[in-house]
Structure 1
Amino acid sequence: MPAAVQVSDVDVVALAEFLGSCPPFDSVPDDELARMAAHAVVERYDAGAVILDAFDSEVEELFVVWEGRVDIWVHPDRVTELPDETRGVGDLFGFVAAITEAAAGPRATAVGQVTVIRLPAELVAPAFASRRGARFLAQEVLSTNRRTVGMPTYTLVDDLIARAPVVVDRSASIEQAASRMVAADLGYVAVRVGPGRYGLVTDATIRGVVAAARPTTTPVADVMSHDPPTVQLGASAAEALIKVLERNAAFVLVTDPAGELRGVVAPIDFVVSSTSAGAALHEQLRRANTVEELQYRYREVPRLVGDLMARGLASNRVITVHSALVDTLVRRAIQLVMQGRPDLDADAFTWLSLGSNGRREAVLSSDVDAAVAFADRTTADEIARYRPAFAEIIDVLTGAGIKHDTHGVSPVNPEFSRTHRQWESAARAWLSGPTKDNAVIMTCLLVDGRPIHGDLALPEVARVFGDLRLHPSTMRMLLAISVDRSDALRGRWRRKTIDLKRQALLPIANVARWAALSAGSVALPTPERLHAAAGSRMLSAEDADTLGDVFEIVQRTRLRHQLEQVEAGEPPSDVIALRDMSTIDTSVVNDAIREILAVQRRMANKAKFVPDLQDSPLV
């Protein structure tokens, strides 16, 4: 545990002035402030250090944050969960326990490097005896009680709806929509587009209209979001939370089975939900002020993943939440690094998540697979100026606990940092010559690509791959990868370990990618791809369902294994020793691999009788 370092070279005058700016000390006479400063102890703590644990023992001091931020827990039964609040410069903590001389909490730990001021309780007690100090103390006790007493645990999105929705017709003007928002004290209005269909206008939409100097008589239909995130009544709060995280959304519409709008849920509503931890951590990552704080916050993710698994959330849902948190981490890392490089334009490039991150299937062992696309006017020299920033971003992610890709799938590599036109040209070359220059591997990576920073529209390279079905040579190569059984069969009868990713999950992902592309689907997550391709000539509905079930089972086994590794202080991996698996788990995984092999065998056999696949290298 990091230890405190006492700061000796303290300017007592500056310290007294600082204390005088902090309630309730702002009403204390100057001579008393000087006396408090003279008896104060200033200490510096590293990230994660426990500054105070007033649940275990009585304390005789209170604390003031001078520099940095501090996480606070106010309930002893929740210290293994996310903090109840975070306090910053000028905030006090520990004064209730110090003044009452009771082990009343809280527990406080450093977020990044923190400097705190320790003040003897008997010296500052008079400040709380004043009217202002008494009011300050009463407000703190009231807010603490509200956080710790009677907190309900809700599970359905229905329970998160607090008010009836505000709806306007699509012909309403922006001015009318703004008036309805103000009258209802809400940050949105829903726009009725048609039976069971709604758009959304938010306060951010209104600000955009004002900034663009558009007339307020403009119909809301011209500026609304046409595809707001939506869930149905009866959906779990976790599902609504996933919508918030996936889309970085300000609101989620809640409809009934007939499509009628019944309510709107905002991120703040998840505070009363048992799934609020994901939303809270998402928000903490998004608002991290420094790289150090961002990395510190992200280290809470494995604990959150374990908590969601323990609550019984399906593994694919847990992975979706985790992937959304990875997105938030990457976005904030980009923002923080680029803020420190004012000579570079953060909007000059689009960051693409590739591989499992692109498919929203990132787990604790997943690498950082990424590429960037620049505007076509960007020169090679200008792109080169950004690579040190990209390297710094990768370092930030690595420092947070994300593995760095060892195969060079990174914007630091010139192959993965190009202009849109260069990406388009490369994609066409890969399609015309799939046997050259790792063309199929690059195709698989880019087909799974998803923009998370910059221009979030479909990148040009993805549009090129949109007509992949018209390139039979590439499709045959992708099919060959999909039905290749060498990894699953390797060492099958004498193996002592199982690589869950290589032997089970990647084969399913490859089949799903090929089948979805064959069906013309643009879906990215493997379960969605399987659903989209179910019933096609190469993948029966039964086989698609089987692979979907197997994917879920193996992912759950993988997550449990990785959480156990993290708990033991080991790096998470995809390889699990058979001796570490129960007999039941071993049987389940072996059965899963057999099911995958059977589907691959049937696909290979079908390929012999499909006319446009008869020249496949498989037959």
Structure 2
Amino acid sequence: MNTEELTGRLGRYPPFDRLDAARLADLAGRARTVRFRAGELVLDAFASPVRNVLFVIEGRVDLWWEPGPGPSSVPDDTVGPGSLIGMTSVLAERALGPRAAAATDVRAAALPVSALAGAFAALGGARYLAAHTPATATGGIVRPVPPLAAYTTVDDLIVHDPLIIPTGSTLVQAAAQMTAFDAPCAAVALPGGRFGMLTDTLIRRALAAGGDLSTLAADAVADRHPPTVVRGDSAAEALVVLLDRDADFVLVVDRVGGVCGVIAPRDFMVSPATAGISLHEQIRRAATVDELCQRARRLPAVLDELVTRGLTVSKVIGVHSAIIDTIVRRAIRLVFDHRPELSVDAFTWLALGSNGRHEAVLSSDVDSAASFVDGLPTSQIAAYRGAFAEVADILDGARLYRDKRGTSAQNPLFARTNAQWRAAALEWMAAPDRNNGAIMTSLLVDGRPIHGDPGLSEVDRVFADVRKHPGTMRLLLQEMLARRAKPHVLREALRRRPEFVNVKNDGLLPLVNLARWAALSVGSSALPTVERLRAAAGSEMMPQESASTLIEVFGELQRLRLRYQLRQWRDGEPPTDVLEMATVSPIDRSILAQAIREVAAVQRRMDNIAVYVPVDEWTARQNAGS
């Protein structure tokens, strides 16, 4: 096959279909054609480093993703034309497989590793790698990985020194530097010592918009608030940031804001968080409802793998919530692709409850609400609610179940225009004890947009100044304290009575309610429980010591909750928040009892403060020595 023919063939398959003609021709010119007879060993990437990645032109190749007996055993996968073989080991720079043998006569192009960087520098290349990660027949991820000691922080994922564009550079100058360094992105120095990020995508958008690019400043085109993590953060934390922002790159900075590097989705191929990004990308590419549901059902297996590899539970839960967001977004897109009369720009989809707070575990319902643009006719809103019911059906099929009490965007109570939400929030503010105002407030202030307008919801805007309404604050506190932590249940459990304890109802919900109210009381818009406690820490109602204790308690309860739910899942049981005390270790029973006692103690203190301290002093900051 000559260079021109191979150029055309490469350009028909991802990730090479994203390369321009010059890069394709260069890659094809550096390749050589190789042939293998049926049964012949094509590649053994367990035995030695990969020097050339093979692009299959004709024939079928069997793959084995674990070291084993070899071509005489049943293969884990079989691939055909357009497939790449050996890329996983190239990225990891170690012998991670696969072993490959020709299932039929095979013709392939051997592509030098040095020539492939451009194809995988962009997100499209990483998405290809993620989508083609091998899986077992039962859906479990099968991928040899480096030891856990390696690649657990973002520091270990940085491959190259960052390219930094000086302040005052034009877009043309920045593009020239990026081309010279063959860099798909660069950090751009901004006034005040901060950094933005300039990517190939942003440059292409500027070109498409026209204008005089010779005088256009690079910092005018750059993302001035790029996804950012701090050196020393876990790889899982960076993964959550990347998934949350649906970003091509994440900027890594040091503690004083200096740029240390940039990481891309492909860099996670050697991280313990690999499974998360792999499944995330496969879900985003799901072409049908059946495909989406099939891939989404693998989510518990991914969480189990991440926990087994030693990632902290808080990070695993963050990855879980981010992937749930992706499943919901993909379900929305698949439904509305078949409803051209309805616009996806007419509404914002809000994740509520634990999903809204980024704290969902396997037993969590998918609570939701929708906020429509003002002026949308009532008849059309009814049609949208019908589409939302289809989304809920898809989520049921993905084993992400809707709330049985009807907290769903298909319910008219949770599907309103922006003006209607604003009017309802004002009513709840004035009288939280009427029309379930306190309950609705609790639900909606946990709302997080995952589709549509990313800004604060109308309810959040109304309740931003709730601390200026003492009567409302008192009534909301009464409602928040109505669900009490139940240490007496644990005392009975420790005496072998009763047989079951609900860790969510008896401990977590009271704690989450405390944090929500505390955040409202200081005007914080934070959503995660830990961030809310940190924001409120140091006030009369929430002293620093109480906040620190509750943060620790929340982490322990979530750890126990997820660990026992994964055990239930492995045993083929539906994950629940109910712990069978006979299966709980003595140490865990002790931790559980102490955690719930701590929550109850904070509730009692807040009760006393509410009785003896004026409302306007509840949020006053304590003196450092008090």
TM-score range, shorter chain: 0.7 to 0.9
Partner SS, residue 208 of structure 1: helix
- Aligned partner letter, 1:172: S
Quote the residue 2:521 is aligned against.
518
Distance 2:179 2:74 in 1: 40
- Aligned partner letter, 2:345: D
Contact 1:170 1:219 in 2 (8 A): no
Quote the residue 2:577 is aligned against.
574
Q: Determine whether 1:102 maps to 2:71.
A: yes
Quote the residue 1:542 is aligned against.
545
Contact 1:484 1:600 in 2 (8 A): no
CA shift for structure 1 position 196: 4.5
Q: Determine whether 1:562 maps to 2:565.
A: yes
Quote the residue 2:159 is aligned against.
162
Kindly tell me: are residues 368 and 88 of structure 1, through their superposed partners in 2, closer, same or farther at Cα, counting changes over 3 Å?
Answer: farther
Contact 1:370 1:416 in 2 (8 A): yes
CA shift for structure 1 position 611: 1.2
Quote the residue 1:455 is aligned against.
453
Q: What pairs with 1:189-208 in structure 2 (closer than 5 Å)? A: 189-194=186-191, 196-208=193-205
Quote the residue 2:60 is aligned against.
92
Quote the residue 2:93 is aligned against.
none
Partner SS, residue 486 of structure 2: helix
Distance 1:318 1:158 in 2: 19
- Aligned partner letter, 1:504: G
Kindly tell me: are residues 542 and 173 of structure 1, through their superposed partners in 2, closer, same or farther at Cα, counting changes over 3 Å?
Answer: same
CA shift for structure 1 position 436: 1.1
CA shift for structure 1 position 211: 4.0
Distance 2:435 2:316 in 1: 36
CA shift for structure 1 position 91: 8.1
Unpaired segments ≥5 residues, structure 2: 1-7, 11-37, 48-52, 80-101, 117-128, 133-141, 619-626
Which of 161, 176, 189 in structure 2 is aligned with 1:179? 176
Kindly tell me: are residues 507 and 151 of structure 1, through their superposed partners in 2, closer, same or farther at Cα, counting changes over 3 Å?
Answer: closer
Q: Determine whether 1:604 maps to 2:607.
A: yes
Distance 1:148 1:437 in 2: 53
Contact 2:487 2:593 in 1 (8 A): no
Give the aligned length: 518
CA shift for structure 1 position 253: 1.1
Contact 1:370 1:411 in 2 (8 A): yes
CA shift for structure 1 position 457: 2.0
CA shift for structure 1 position 502: 0.9
Deviations 1:514-560 (A, max 9, x none): 11111221111001111111111101111111111111111111001
Quote the residue 1:415 is aligned against.
413
CA shift for structure 1 position 489: 5.6
Distance 2:389 2:57 in 1: 32
Contact 1:190 1:200 in 2 (8 A): yes
Distance 1:611 1:256 in 2: 44
Distance 2:63 2:234 in 1: 39
Quote the residue 2:238 is aligned against.
240
Q: What pairs with 1:383-532 in structure 2 (closer than 5 Å)? A: 383-484=381-482, 486=484, 488=486, 491=489, 493=492, 494-532=497-535
Quote the residue 1:553 is aligned against.
556
Partner SS, residue 420 of structure 2: helix
Q: After alignment, is 286-295 or 509-518 more displaced?
A: 286-295
CA shift for structure 1 position 433: 1.6
CA shift for structure 1 position 169: 3.4
Kindly tell me: are residues 537 and 161 of structure 1, through their superposed partners in 2, closer, same or farther at Cα, counting changes over 3 Å?
Answer: same
Deviations 1:153-189 (A, max 9, x none): 4222122111121222343333333333333222222
Quote the residue 2:340 is aligned against.
342
Distance 2:337 2:219 in 1: 35
CA shift for structure 1 position 352: 0.5
Kindly tell me: are residues 601 and 219 of structure 1, through their superposed partners in 2, closer, same or farther at Cα, counting changes over 3 Å?
Answer: same
Partner SS, residue 385 of structure 1: helix
Distance 2:501 2:304 in 1: 22
CA shift for structure 1 position 513: 0.8
- Aligned partner letter, 1:92: R
Structure 1 vs Structure 2: percent identity of aligned residues? 48
Partner SS, residue 225 of structure 1: coil
- Aligned partner letter, 1:497: F
Kindly tell me: are residues 261 and 515 of structure 1, through their superposed partners in 2, closer, same or farther at Cα, counting changes over 3 Å?
Answer: same
Q: What pairs with 1:10-89 in structure 2 (closer than 5 Å)? A: none
RMSD over equivalenced CA pairs, Å: 3.5
Contact 2:476 2:517 in 1 (8 A): yes
- Aligned partner letter, 1:609: Y
Deviations 1:207-227 (A, max 9, x none): 333444454233233333222
Partner SS, residue 404 of structure 1: coil
Q: What pairs with 1:114-125 in structure 2 (closer than 5 Å)? A: 125=104
CA shift for structure 1 position 613: 6.7
Contact 1:497 1:575 in 2 (8 A): yes
Please report the TM-score for the alignment, with normalisation by the length of structure 1.
0.76
Distance 1:464 1:306 in 2: 40
- Aligned partner letter, 1:390: F
Contact 1:253 1:265 in 2 (8 A): yes
- Aligned partner letter, 2:571: A
Kindly tell me: are residues 138 and 215 of structure 1, through their superposed partners in 2, closer, same or farther at Cα, counting changes over 3 Å?
Answer: closer
Deviations 1:587-617 (A, max 9, x none): 21111111111111111112223212799xx
Kindly tell me: are residues 301 and 517 of structure 1, through their superposed partners in 2, closer, same or farther at Cα, counting changes over 3 Å?
Answer: same
Quote the residue 1:308 is aligned against.
306
CA shift for structure 1 position 353: 0.5
Distance 1:554 1:150 in 2: 30
Kindly tell me: are residues 257 and 612 of structure 1, through their superposed partners in 2, closer, same or farther at Cα, counting changes over 3 Å?
Answer: closer
Which of 353, 371, 380 in structure 2 is aligned with 1:382? 380
CA shift for structure 1 position 461: 2.8
Distance 2:77 2:338 in 1: 30
Distance 1:310 1:402 in 2: 23
Deviations 1:73-94 (A, max 9, x none): 9989xxxxxxxx9x99998342
Deviations 1:288-337 (A, max 9, x none): 22221111111221111112222222211111111111111111111111
Contact 2:272 2:311 in 1 (8 A): no
Contact 2:231 2:255 in 1 (8 A): yes
Distance 2:312 2:472 in 1: 35
Contact 1:155 1:274 in 2 (8 A): yes
- Aligned partner letter, 2:512: A
Distance 1:411 1:233 in 2: 39
Deviations 1:241-281 (A, max 9, x none): 22212222221111223321111111111112222111111
CA shift for structure 1 position 414: 1.0
- Aligned partner letter, 2:168: S
Q: Determine whether 1:320 maps to 2:314.
A: no
Partner SS, residue 227 of structure 1: coil
Quote the residue 1:360 is aligned against.
358
Please report the TM-score for the alignment, with normalisation by the length of structure 2.
0.76
Distance 1:169 1:461 in 2: 42
Contact 1:199 1:224 in 2 (8 A): yes
Deviations 1:188-210 (A, max 9, x none): 22121245421122223223334
Q: After alignment, is 235-244 or 402-411 more displaced?
A: 235-244
Quote the residue 2:268 is aligned against.
270
CA shift for structure 1 position 495: 3.2
Partner SS, residue 456 of structure 2: coil
Kindly tell me: are residues 610 and 368 of structure 1, through their superposed partners in 2, closer, same or farther at Cα, counting changes over 3 Å?
Answer: same
Distance 1:490 1:440 in 2: 27
Deviations 1:349-400 (A, max 9, x none): 1111011110000111111111111111211111111122111111111111
